[in-house]
Amino acid sequence: MKCAVLSDIHGNLRAFEAVLADAKASGADSIIFLGDLIFMGLDPQLCYDLLMEQKPIVAIKGNTDENLEHIAELSGTSSKEEHLLKLIKYAHIRMHEQAKKHLATLPTVKRMELEGLSVLCCHGTPYSVDEGIYQNQPFSPAFAKQLSDEKVELVLSGHTHIHADFVRNGIRFINPGAVGYSFDGDVRASYALLSLSDGSVQCKIRRVEYDIKRYQMEVDHAMEGFKLLDRLQYALTYGKPLN
Taking residues 141-162, report their average pLDDT: 96
Parent domain of 140: 2-238
Spatial separation of the C-alpha atoms in residues 189 and 17, rounded to whole Å: 10
Report if residue 229 sits inside a domain. yes
pTM: 0.95
Residue 76 in this model has a pLDDT that exceeds 70: no
Q: What Rg, from alpha-carbon coordinates, does the chain have?
A: 17
Spatial separation of the C-alpha atoms in residues 135 and 2, rounded to whole Å: 24
CATH number for the domain that contains residue 40: 3.60.21.10
Report if residue 243 sits inside a domain. no
Number of domains, the chain: 1
> What are the residues facing 193 on neighbouring strands?
4, 204
Residue 81 has a pLDDT of 78
Report if residue 108 sits inside a domain. yes
Report if residue 47 sits inside a domain. yes
Spatial separation of the C-alpha atoms in residues 199 and 13, rounded to whole Å: 34
For the stretch 82-138, pLDDT in tens is: 888 888 888 999 999 999 999 999 999 999 999 999 999 999 999 999 999 999 999
Question: Which stretch of DSSP H or E encloses residue 195?
Answer: strand 189-197
Taking residues 147-160, report their average pLDDT: 96
